[in-house]
Amino acid sequence: MKQTLRWAMMTAVVAALAVGGAKLLPAFGAQFVNIVFEAEAVTKLSGKAFEVQKKTENASGKVAGNKVLAIPHLTGGVHPPKDQVIYKVKIAKAGTYYLWARTQWSSGCENKIDLRVQGYDTGDAMWILGNDATYHTLHWVCLNEPGSDTPRRIKLAAGVTAITIQAREGGIALDQFLLTTDKDKTPAGFYTDTKDALAPDAPKK
């Protein structure tokens, strides 16, 4: 009888945890490395293209951290200056990673951003993230191989890796980034940021 009662209590606790967890975020597989950081987690912005905007709600639900990194809409097909934001991401474990961004686009001409990962020499031609046709709602976009739906494999060593994004088009917003070793992962909703995911811009003196 006692054992039955204990089992019932354990089941109730597990069920409560599952419900509580589902509200916050979909579960990650424990065997994979997942690194989440906010797009707006920049200490200072250089140039005029980017701005951090307060944004709590979106058609897709809540906004992670109540902020996004945005490039405002520009009229007349004007392109923003090619300003950059650099994230110095702490990679605790070497491996093959896949990069996702929670993005919001405005149109077919406002739906992508240029991107570079340290260690990959792409010259002046940076990688393109986006170019999909989902507009006016936050949604996760994977960095794919050019012209394909195949997620780009990114081999990262342990340590700090710089991920640079460069303004390309206006009318976009970026909420979160996810680096994951799970190639089958399809992110949904938003996630709790990984503790100390980003290295500071400059060493403290």
Q: Between 66 and 164, whose beta carbon lies closer to Ca ion?
A: 66
Q: How far is the CB of 193 from Ca ion (least distance, A)?
A: 9
Instruction: Mark the segment that binds Ca ion (CB under 5 A) among 2-10, 57-65, 79-87, 156-164.
Output: 57-65
| 8 Å CB contact between 85 and 50 | yes
- CA separation, residue 163 to residues 10, 89, 147, 166 (Å): 43, 7, 21, 10
| 8 Å CB contact between 137 and 60 | yes
**Residues 1-20 contacting Ca ion, CB under 5 A:** none
**Could you give the CA distance from residue 140 to residue 104 in angstroms, rounded to a whole number?**
9
With CB under 5 A as the contact rule, the residue among 70, 116, 175, 181 that binds Ca ion is 175
Instruction: Mark the segment that binds Ca ion (CB under 5 A) among 13-21, 62-70, 93-101, 154-162.
Output: 62-70
With CB under 5 A as the contact rule, the residue among 36, 49, 64, 117 that binds Ca ion is 64
Can you list the positions of beta strands (E) in 31-111? Answer: 34-38, 51-54, 57-58, 61-62, 67-71, 84-91, 95-104
Q: Between 33 and 36, whose beta carbon lies closer to Ca ion?
A: 36
Q: Between 122 and 137, whose beta carbon lies closer to Ca ion?
A: 137
Residue 152 is encoded by which pair of tokens? 């780009």
Q: Between 34 and 95, whose beta carbon lies closer to Ca ion?
A: 34
- DSSP H or E segment with residue 10: helix 2-24
**Could you give the CA distance from residue 117 to residue 101 in angstroms, rounded to a whole number?**
14
Q: How far is the CB of 67 from Ca ion (least distance, A)?
A: 5
Tell me which residues touch Ca ion (CB under 5 A): 38, 64-65, 175
